[in-house]
């Protein structure tokens, strides 16, 4: 499995969908970033955004989210039930695959430095990235919230930020950036509007008031539902599982003659957390998570067996062959570009270390590493292209009953179509890079693998040409003449460059066969 990191920035805006959409668009404007989820809560006036990507991309993506939030959210007028200290209130990194805690801490510091210096927002590092034990707990960092930090940051030495000015950014507030274990944001609704009961139940499960070690909890008045809520972060669901907290809340609420009416998970939840809940309530015997179909398929693909690999690989082909318009030609083009990069990396590996090719060892080692990174970017673009197409389709479903709705719908269609144009244009750029590596390995790589270098050239050219079709079909629907002209010019240049490289690769391959 390739390197993967999750980032879950929380923004102090839960009532204006257009603001969160702009922030999400800014985050996903980094090629290779996949938006997994975003949820808004009007009472809390807060949104939770979840995205994943290669660790090389995460700082830039998160920073763009910060910059857009700083532009659109004014903390001087912000009100909501949830504690908050800034426009982008918190931004945790969660290592998922082949990323260590130390790697994630380094990324948190890089982001903190940029946010502090470029946006002039005070930054506090928390959890595993904390620079002091007092700042490990987010509640300590956010104590007093926006107003308290604003009034004390310049006089209280305990408020000196890790990055940025020792002065509150009045518009954007301050922020906390950290590294943590995957948490579960879990809320339980009680059959009462008495907030005092919610507070007492929250006290019973909260770590700081004698409850469970890995639970942070607060009581909230959800006026929209005329109910109260126990809102929690379960910071280590393996040590304090969901079902244990849920059962305790039921018992504590019953002391006051109150029932639990429902619960909710905010954002994404790890599979293991829900498996534990199923096991507890169903009282399963000899059950393991590998009895879950999706887990079994994942395991089959991971063990390198031919059957398992075929099952996992087939799913993408099944999706392309289905009646769904996405994934389609754009995703296939990105896949071809990724395969071209894979072949360039393979030929490099079959060259480096061979005595006959000692003189090109350094150059081909560099090609290998760059082609590996390029492959991952293009793999992410397979999904990004599909999401961009689906986003365009969603805009056509927007209401159009009034002139205002029609205008908003038209603007959304144009914005989404622009996005759907830039993604295949990015595929073109990246696939041209793959062609450049294909030419190097054709000229200097192991001659026993010359046919592989040739296929890399063919795949790279097909990727560029295929992606150009998607660029062109979208340009027809755009009204921004300047954007259309600039995009068409770049597309033409990329096609010309790709064709020149492909011809050279073919000539080299033909001469060596």
2 three-state secondary structure: coil
Spot the catalytic one: 41, 128, 199, 385.
385
The total of other beta-carbon atoms located within 10 Å of residue 168's CB is 24
Spot the catalytic one: 82, 203, 372, 410.
82
Which residue in 244, 238, 266 sits closest to 48, CA to CA? 266
Cα-based torsion angle of the residue sequence 62, 64, 70, 73 in order, rounded to the nearest 10 degrees: -80
Distance CA 500, CA 113 (A): 42
Distance CA 443, CA 504 (A): 10
Q: Are 253 and 260 in contact (CB under 8 A)?
A: yes
What are residue 124's DSSP bridge partners? 176
Residue 6 sits at φ, ψ, to 5 deg, of -105, 145
- SS3 for 80-136 is CCCCCCECEEEEEEEEEECCCHHHHHHHHHHHHHHHHHHCCCCEEEEECCCCCHHHC
Burial 324-351 (b: 16+ CB within 10 A, else e): eebbebbbbbbbbbbbbbbbbbbbbbbb
Q: What residues contact 350, with CB distance under 8 A and at least 6 apart?
A: 445, 446, 448, 449
What burial class does residue 463 get, using C-beta atoms within 10 Å of its C-beta: 0-12 exposed, 13-18 middle, 19+ buried? Answer: buried
CA distances (Å), 456 to each of 217, 297, 427, 453, in order?
A: 54, 29, 15, 5
Q: Are 479 and 414 in contact (CB under 8 A)?
A: yes
Q: Active-site residue 385, yes or no?
A: yes
Q: Are 67 and 26 in contact (CB under 8 A)?
A: yes
The total of other beta-carbon atoms located within 10 Å of residue 138's CB is 23
Distance from CA of residue 383 to its chain's centroid? 12
Which residue in 415, 364, 358 sits closest to 391, CA to CA? 415
Distance CA 292, CA 314 (A): 19
**Any idea which residues carry the catalytic annotation?**
82, 385
């Amino acid at each position: 499995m390739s390197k993967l990191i999750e980032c879950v920035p929380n923004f102090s805006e839960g009532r204006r969908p257009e603001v969160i959409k702009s922030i999400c668009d800014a985050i996903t404007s980094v090629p290779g970033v996949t938006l997994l989820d975003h949820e808004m809560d009007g009472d809390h006036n807060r949104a939770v955004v979840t995205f994943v990507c290669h660790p090389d991309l995460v700082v830039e993506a998160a920073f763009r989210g910060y910059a857009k939030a700083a532009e659109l959210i004014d903390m001087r007028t912000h009100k909501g039930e949830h504690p908050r200290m800034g426009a982008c209130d918190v931004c945790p990194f969660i290592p998922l695959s082949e990323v260590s805690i130390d790697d994630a801490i380094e990324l948190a510091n890089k982001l903190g430095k940029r946010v502090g210096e470029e946006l002039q927002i005070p930054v506090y590092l928390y959890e595993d990235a904390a620079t002091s034990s007092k700042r490990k707990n987010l509640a300590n960092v956010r104590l007093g919230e926006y107003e308290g930090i604003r009034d004390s940051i310049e006089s209280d030495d305990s408020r000196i930020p890790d990055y940025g000015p020792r002065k509150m950014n009045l518009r954007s507030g301050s922020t906390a950036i950290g590294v943590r274990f995957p948490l579960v944001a879990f809320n339980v609704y009680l059959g009462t509007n008495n907030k005092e009961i919610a507070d007492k139940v929250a006290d019973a499960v909260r770590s700081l008031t004698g409850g469970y070690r890995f639970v942070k909890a607060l009581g909230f008045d959800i006026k929209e539902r005329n109910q109260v809520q126990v809102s929690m972060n379960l910071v280590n669901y393996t040590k304090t599982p969901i079902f244990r907290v849920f059962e305790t809340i039921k018992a504590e609420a019953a002391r006051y003659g109150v029932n639990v009416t429902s619960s909710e998970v905010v954002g994404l939840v790890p599979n293991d957390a829900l498996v534990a809940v199923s096991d507890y309530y169903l009282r399963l015997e000899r059950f393991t998570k590998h009895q879950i179909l999706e887990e079994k398929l994942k395991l089959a693909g991971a063990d390198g067996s031919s059957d398992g690999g075929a099952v996992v690989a087939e799913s993408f082909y099944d999706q392309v062959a289905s009646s769904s318009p996405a994934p389609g030609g754009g995703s296939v083009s990105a896949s071809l570009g990724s395969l071209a990069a894979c072949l360039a990396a393979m030929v490099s590996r079959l060259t480096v270390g061979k005595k006959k090719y000692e003189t090109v060892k350094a150059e081909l080692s560099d090609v290998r590493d760059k082609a590996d990174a390029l492959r991952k970017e293009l793999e992410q673009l397979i999904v990004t292209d599909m999401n961009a197409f689906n986003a365009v389709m969603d805009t056509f479903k927007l209401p159009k009953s009034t002139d205002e709705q029609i205008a908003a719908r038209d603007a959304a269609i144009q914005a989404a179509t622009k996005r759907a144009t830039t993604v295949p244009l990015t595929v073109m750029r990246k696939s041209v890079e793959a062609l450049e590596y294909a030419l190097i390995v054709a000229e200097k790589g192991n001659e026993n693998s010359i046919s592989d270098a040739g296929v890399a050239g063919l795949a790279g050219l097909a990727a560029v040409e295929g992606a150009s079709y998607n660029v062109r079909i979208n340009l027809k629907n755009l009204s921004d003449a300047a954007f259309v002209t600039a995009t068409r010019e770049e597309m033409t240049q990329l096609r010309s460059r790709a064709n020149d490289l492909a011809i050279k690769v073919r000539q080299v391959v033909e001469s060596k066969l």
